[in-house]
């Protein structure tokens, strides 16, 4: 799903615009730290603009391009801890622990 034209600079990262947490988590685990760093470096400076853009629409009625942008920013959150804190894709010292989210946010 394409992003709003105002966010064309993020088009190379549209593969991160995933609708569910399990998809975003799987993408994080399948990505190299270099790929996550590139995504993070491009998307983080645009976060406030993305929030302001999405806030122009009612949450229950986001246009498809805004929904894609919202999902892209959710993926940014997903990679923020590996980039900023852990310096690796997996949660350190978590062994085989796994948590399934059972309810997605309303969007």
pLDDT for position 107: 58
- Tokens representing 5 are 């034209």
Q: Where are the alpha helices (DSSP H) in the chain?
A: 21-30, 33-43, 47-54, 64-81
pLDDT value for 1: 75
Average pLDDT of adjacent 10-residue blocks, the chain of 107 residues: 95 97 93 96 98 93 96 96 87 59 64
**pLDDT for the residue numbered 92:** 65
Degrees to nearest 5, angle at CA 88 with 67 and 78: 15
Q: How far is CA 29 from CA 5, 47, 71, in A?
A: 29, 22, 17
How many CA atoms are closer than 13 Å to the CA of 84, on its beta-carbon side? Answer: 9
Write down the domain spans for the chain: 16-86
What is the model's pTM?
0.84
């Amino acid at each position: 799903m394409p992003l709003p034209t105002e966010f064309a600079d993020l088009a190379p990262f549209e593969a991160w615009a995933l609708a569910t947490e399990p998809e975003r988590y799987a993408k994080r685990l399948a990505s190299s730290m270099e790929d996550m760093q590139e995504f993070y470096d491009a998307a983080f400076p645009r976060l406030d603009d993305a929030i302001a853009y999405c806030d122009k629409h009612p949450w229950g009625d986001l246009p498809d391009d805004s929904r894609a942008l919202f999902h892209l920013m959710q993926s940014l959150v997903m990679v923020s801890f590996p980039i900023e804190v852990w310096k690796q894709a997996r949660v350190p010292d978590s062994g085989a622990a796994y948590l399934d989210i059972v309810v997605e946010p309303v969007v």
